[in-house]
Amino acid sequence: MSIREVREQLSDIPGAGTMTMEYENGGRIQVFKIGEVEVRLESGLTNLAPAIRAAIESNPSSING
């Protein structure tokens, strides 16, 4: 799944349209940045958008101020 597809699936989240992704820990971890929010996930997950959404919903104040 491309970053573009993930952005589209998360389009209802403020700032998701400019979300970026980078790797850390030798490529084992993907770091998704939406504004000031960072979500770290293991590389290779196929359902990225639901995992990112779940991480944000577990801490909604991080995206809504």
The confidence score (pLDDT) of residue 60 equals 63
Long-range (24+ apart) CB contacts under 8 A made by 56-59 are: 56/13
Instruction: Tell me what pLDDT residue 36 has.
Output: 87
> Could you report the average pLDDT of every consecutive run of 10 residues in the chain (65 residues)?
92 94 95 92 92 88 54
pLDDT of 65 reads 45
Whose CA is closest to 6, among 44, 45, 16, 39? 16
Domain ranges of the chain: 3-64
